[in-house]
Amino acid sequence: MAALPLIWVFWSVVAVYVVHVLDESLLGGSFVEKVREHWWPEYSWRRFFWFNSGYFLIMIASVVAYDFLSGLWVILPLAFTLERAANGFWHLWWTTHFREYSPGLVTSILMWMSAYFLFRYALPTAGITASQWSVSTAIAAVMTVFLSVTFPLIGAFRIRRPR
């Protein structure tokens, strides 16, 4: 079996995220419009832009740090790889729950491919320790929960509060 360097997997996650943001912006009525329709009427393209810009900045910085420093710096890029794969399941939930295309669903396949490459070709030779794996998994879980519940919670609070 051929080994795949971790850095290639991590950069693939960044590249896939670029395509994912384009998917969310252009397909299926756009992510912003769907969030406005289902949960948060005040959600804006400005919020979408700044959230994704910050996410890109942290993601890219973590990959560059790992590229130059390796070791413990593997934690964040590994967490982003896991979180992006989990995000695909959120888009799948959305599609089945609302019975409509979730902007971002098509590119979820690419995120799952990055995770597959990680597990199949990179991890067996990567030398990631149990503690690095545990911390990455915990960070990915926190990010996944945060991103999965943010919009539904905003919608739930909006329903309860008088307008």
The number of beta carbons lying within 10 Å of the beta carbon of residue 20 is 25
Residue 64 CB-half CA count within 13 A: 6
User: Is the pLDDT confidence value at 90 over 70?
Assistant: yes
117 touches 12 (CB < 8 A): yes
Q: How far apart are CA 22 and CA 138, in angstroms?
A: 28
**What beta strand segments (E) does the chain contain?**
none
pLDDT of residue 12: 97
- Encode pLDDT of 22-79 as tens digits: 999 998 889 999 999 988 888 899 999 999 999 999 999 999 999 999 889 999 999 9
Q: How far apart are CA 136 and CA 23, in angstroms?
A: 27
pTM confidence score: 0.90
